[in-house]
Structure formats: C-alpha cells, structure tokens
Amino acid sequence: MSEVVAFIGLGRMGGPMAGRLAAAGHRVVGYDVVPGLLAAAEGRGVEAAPSAVAAVTEADVVVTMLPTGRHVLGLYRDEGLLAAARPGTLFLDCSTIDVADARAAHEAVRAAGHRALDAPVSGGVVGAEAGTLTFMAGGGAEEFARAEPLLAAMGARSVHCGDAGAGQAAKICNNMILGISMIAVSEAFVLGESLGLSHQALFDVASTSSGQCWALTTNCPVPGPVPASPANHDYRPGFSAPLMAKDLRLAAEAARANGVAAELGLRAAELYAAFAGGEGAEQDFSGIVRAVRQGPAPTSDQNGTTA
Ligand SMILES: NC(=O)c1ccc[n+]([C@@H]2O[C@H](COP(=O)([O-])OP(=O)(O)OC[C@H]3O[C@@H](n4cnc5c(N)ncnc54)[C@H](O)[C@@H]3O)[C@@H](O)[C@H]2O)c1
C-alpha cells in the first residue's frame, strides 16, 4: 500500500532512507533545515516542503531522523508537528535518542491522538544507501505491524523489542557491548605488540577461539587481517567515533539513572568521549586502538612500581 510519508531530517542517514521510501512507491514529502540537503533529497525522488509543519499536514506517517531527543521533542511539541498532523498519524522516530526522551515522545504523540513507534537503526550510512539497515522497534504491536512495510523498504530486518523506548534500549545495550569489545580487542592487539606477537597470529587464534567477536572479525582495529576494515583505509568511518561516543553516553546515562553497575560501559563512555573529542573526531571508532597504543599517563601498580 502506498503511503504519504513526511520525512524530517535528510542528513547522512535520512537522505538515503527517504530515497528508498520514494523508490518503493511512497509519496515522500521531506524537510531539513539545511537547504542543500533538501535539494539533494529531491534528486532521490523526495518532494521538498517549505517547513516541517508543511511536510506533515497530509502525511499518513511522519518519519524523523534527527541528531538527538531534544530535536525530536522540539519538533513534535514546540514546532507544532503533533498539532499539525491529521489524527491517528503514525510518528516513527528512527533517530538514536535517550530512552527517557523516547518514552516522553511516545507520551506526547499519544496525548495528541496519534500513534508512536521508536525504531532506531544499526547499519550506518552504507546500510541506509543499500537498504540493509536493522531496525529495533519499541511500541505497540499494531504500530509495529503498521510500520513494517516502510521498515522493509528501508532495511533488511526489523525486530519488535517491546513497548515504548524498547527499540532505543536495545540499540544502546548493543552498542555498549560493541564499544567495550572494540576497546578490549584494541588492548589485546597492543598487548600482543608489546609481547612480540604479530597481528595476524593473534587474529588467527582469537578469531577462531573464545575471543571471537564482531569488533575483531569484521571491524578489526589493526590493518591486515580483515581487508575491508577501516584500519586499512586510515580509519575513515565506517561508524564514526563521535557516534559511538554518543551511544555510549546514552548507555552510561541510562545505567546511572537505573542504578546499574555497568563499570566497563561507563569507562568505555569516558574513553570514547576523550577520543572522539580529540584525534578521533573524524575517525572510525576502531581508531581507538591508536589511543590505547599511545597509553595513559603513568600509574602506580599495587606494589608501588611505576608502570
Ligand atoms: N550516521 C550513522 O552511521 C548512524 C548510524 C546509526 C544511527 N544513527 C543515528 O541517526 C540519527 C541521524 O544521524 P545522521 O548521521 O543522519 O546525522 P546528520 O547530522 O547527518 O542528520 C541529521 C539531520 O537532521 C537535520 N535537522 C536537525 N534539526 C532539524 C529540524 N528542526 N528540522 C529539520 N531537520 C533538522 C540536520 O540538518 C541534519 O541534516 C542520529 O540520531 C544518529 O545517532 C546514525
């Protein structure tokens, strides 16, 4: 069934996602505050609207792909999207935002007489272009069923994770595993270097042993063993370090708010914040191996020996 879709936020992810919806035969009316991005989306079959409010007035579904929860709630409430949409419109937020903001967005949408689904993605810009994203959805079963054909046009897989905010929860939990495991793999390679172990030897052992994980076998942080990994391309992203820092910050905030002793998650958030705020600003998140190699300031071990 063809739908009228308003698509707000036509950036690196939103542009290609909106284009895939248009290519699947939906009428897509788009808006972004950056005029150049709106023009680029027109080249993908998206109709340009003069404002976000104008984009949603005839929509069956409103998709948002925005930087933060503040942007999503700001558009929904302060910029009047909820008031401008027809009753019963499905608000599908694909941005990665705070779980609490996602729940607040669900409440605001429902209170305005509409329907809500949070559906953040993994798969990055490459997945958005290729239509191979994975969606993690939170909301009612009806809303998920209603959104499924659209999610199928933009991605390869969607998982209904539970009620309001469950999609965001799954996203930050998954990326906490990823952030921690990338640091673990990087530390192991740097320790191996100091012990005279070649990258290939460690890879050959760990990739077929209990150290096996995605950070090692797909996004290997050292050049050589996995030819397609960003380490072979001067750490060009890929999945950028600032985005990993953002997701870990959301995970750390959720852990603190819920009294969870996620010590490695909190430490990973600190390490990625420092890396992304400095030399990693434009790098793939696997570039953190360079920060591990440079090492921290000297510390004392339990015997008082300076390491
Ligand atoms: N880039 C990735 O690899 C990736 C992967 C998974 C998830 N995400 C998540 O997807 C979301 C979008 O990421 P992105 O890389 O496309 O970011 P982006 O910055 O390229 O795109 C966001 C867009 O929102 C627009 N925008 C901001 N405020 C607006 C407003 N009030 N009205 C209309 N447009 C507005 C911006 O101009 C920008 O074009 C983020 O939440 C991010 O965490 C990104």
For ligand 1, say whether the CB of 34 is within 6 Å of any of its atoms: yes
Q: How far is the CA of 9 from the centre of ligand 1 (A)?
A: 6
- 3-class secondary structure, 203: helix
CATH number corresponding to 4-163? 3.40.50.720
The pLDDT value given to residue 286: 98
Q: What is the pLDDT of residues 102-113, one digit of tens each?
A: 999 999 999 999
Q: Which two tokens stand for residue 291?
A: 């920060």
Q: Which residues of 210-244 are buried (b: 16+ CB within 10 A; e: fewer)?
A: ebebebbbebbbbeebbeebbbeeebebbbbbbbb
- Which residue is listed with tokens 């609207």? 49
For ligand 1, say whether the CB of 12 is within 6 Å of any of its atoms: yes
Substitution candidate for ligand 1 out of 7, 8, 10, 12 with most atoms within 8 A of CB: 12
The pLDDT value given to residue 296: 74
Asked if the model's pLDDT at residue 101 lies above 80, the reply is: yes
- 3-class secondary structure, 182: helix
Q: How far is the CA of 7 from the centre of ligand 1 (A)?
A: 12
Assign a CATH topology to domain 169-294: N-(1-d-carboxylethyl)-l-norvaline Dehydrogenase; domain 2 (1.10.1040)
The pLDDT value given to residue 303: 42
Q: Are 216 and 183 in contact (CB under 8 A)?
A: no
pLDDT band at 305 (very low <50, low <70, confident <90, very high): very low
The residue among 176 and 123 whose pLDDT is bigger is 176
Substitution candidate for ligand 1 out of 32, 79, 135 with most atoms within 8 A of CB: 32
pLDDT band at 46 (very low <50, low <70, confident <90, very high): very high
Phi then psi dihedrals of residue 193, to 5 deg = -55, -45
pLDDT band at 1 (very low <50, low <70, confident <90, very high): confident
Q: In angstroms, rounded to a whole number, what is the distance separating the alpha carbons of residues 229 and 239?
A: 11
The pLDDT value given to residue 299: 45
For ligand 1, say whether the CB of 125 is within 6 Å of any of its atoms: yes
Q: In angstroms, rounded to a whole number, what is the distance separating the alpha carbons of residues 10 and 117?
A: 19
Q: What is the pLDDT of residues 224-250, one digit of tens each?
A: 999 999 999 999 998 999 999 999 999
Q: In angstroms, rounded to a whole number, what is the distance separating the alpha carbons of residues 157 and 148?
A: 10
The pLDDT value given to residue 188: 98
Q: What is the pLDDT of residues 10-33, one digit of tens each?
A: 999 999 999 999 999 999 999 999
Whose Cα sits closest to atom 15 in ligand 1?
12
For ligand 1, say whether the CB of 15 is within 6 Å of any of its atoms: no
What integer best gives the mean pLDDT of the chain? 95
For ligand 1, say whether the CB of 183 is within 6 Å of any of its atoms: no
Q: Which two tokens stand for residue 271?
A: 């390490």
Q: How far is the CA of 65 from the centre of ligand 1 (A)?
A: 5
Domain boundaries, the chain: 4-163, 169-294
Residue numbers annotated as active site: 171
Asked if the model's pLDDT at residue 76 lies above 60, the reply is: yes
Whose Cα sits closest to atom 24 in ligand 1?
9
Substitution candidate for ligand 1 out of 7, 8, 13 with most atoms within 8 A of CB: 13
Q: Do domains 4-163 and 169-294 have the same CATH topology?
A: no
Q: In angstroms, rounded to a whole number, what is the distance separating the alpha carbons of residues 43 and 22?
A: 11
